[in-house]
Amino acid sequence: MNRRLFFKRSCAGALLLSCPGLLARENEKRLRFGLVTDIHFAHRNVHGTRYYEQSITKLSEAIDVFNRRKLDFMIELGDLKDMGDIPERGQTLSFLDEIEAKFQTFDGPVYHVLGNHDMDSISKSEFLAHTSNYGSAKGKPYYSFVRNQIKFIVLDGNCNEDGSDYDSGNFDWTKAFIPAGQREWLQQELKKDDLPVVIFIHELLDTFSGIDKELCIGNAEEIVSILEQSGKVVAVIQGHHHAGNYSFRHGIHYFTMKGMIEGSLPENNSFAVIEIDKDLNIYIEGFYNCKNKEMKHNR
């Protein structure tokens, strides 16, 4: 067992025993899920801080932790795989099949969010055919599901400004949009019931936080306005920006998860267990490069 992970688990156990308040919160849990993003798995040369081949080992450790915790589900926020040093469709699909097989070893429902690198050498339909979301979400680029009376909405920002899909590397990753049909669907999902909502997306929506706009959805302001007007969205959980980020506006938390691809083993990895309690407070238990965080619900 990794010494850092063992130390963290030991300290967490001791803290629970010494703090009755934490034990009380353990009994108030509403839902827990595992979170990873930007795995970028491929058999290719190291590029800067990106260690592509090591990502499958990092993911394996994350899933071991998630399975021991018996979580409600697991989700990855896009860029599951990457292309090779010489991009080729068949090779890219082999990387995808290999990392998807590891992803499916989670003992529970699993979900995918599309990222720009997922279409770097293949089409969106090919990616969806080689991966599997749980239940009615299977084969869908965007979808919703309900767990423990919380609605989770997965958005797909991997579209061009004209509404066409990213396809086989023929796109500009700095120009990502949510097209009209998906926006209408989102509005209907938000109106459908009175459940609290958590949004999952790859590219960022919080342009107001000062983040580089090349990392954000091109029509983010329009999407954020829809979310704010609904009065139901508790948090937006994002990937894409490997360094991570956090912002808050009008009752909505925007948490950007750090990328798993960054840094070499054994010191580097990034994954988290996310807990949402009965009052819709969100607790992020981070591992390695992902830090712990509390996001209080105050709407």
Over the chain (299 residues), the average pLDDT of each successive run of 10 is 44 45 55 98 96 98 98 98 90 97 98 98 98 98 97 98 97 98 98 97 97 97 98 98 98 98 98 97 98 92
DSSP for 19-47 reads -HHHHHHHTTEEEEEEEE----B-S---B
Residue written as token pair 């994002």? 238
At 228, the amino acid letter reads E
Residue written as token pair 């699909």? 93
**pLDDT for the residue numbered 26:** 53
H runs (alpha helix) in the chain? 3-18, 20-26, 55-69, 89-103, 124-129, 180-191, 220-230
CA 147, 153, 155: angle at the middle one, nearest 5?
A: 150
**pLDDT for the residue numbered 87:** 83
238 close to 29: Cβ distance less than 8 angstroms: no
If you count DSSP H runs as helices and E runs as strands, how many of each does the chain have, helices first? 7, 12
79: left (phi over 0), alpha (psi -120 to 50) or beta: left
**pLDDT for the residue numbered 149:** 95
**pLDDT for the residue numbered 298:** 83
Task: State the Cα–Cα distance between residues 271 and 284, nearest whole angstrom.
Answer: 10
Instruction: From 68, 56, 73, select the one nearest 6 (Cα to Cα).
Output: 68
Tell me the pLDDT tens digit for each residue of 133-166.
Answer: 999 999 999 999 999 999 999 999 999 999 999 9
At 34, the amino acid letter reads G
Instruction: State the maximum Cα–Cα separation within the chain, in Å, rounded to a whole number.
Output: 57
Q: Quick one: how far is CA 78 from the chain centroid?
A: 6
Tell me the pLDDT tens digit for each residue of 198-226.
Answer: 999 999 999 999 999 999 999 999 999 99
**pLDDT for the residue numbered 14:** 42
Can you give the pTM of this predicted structure? 0.91
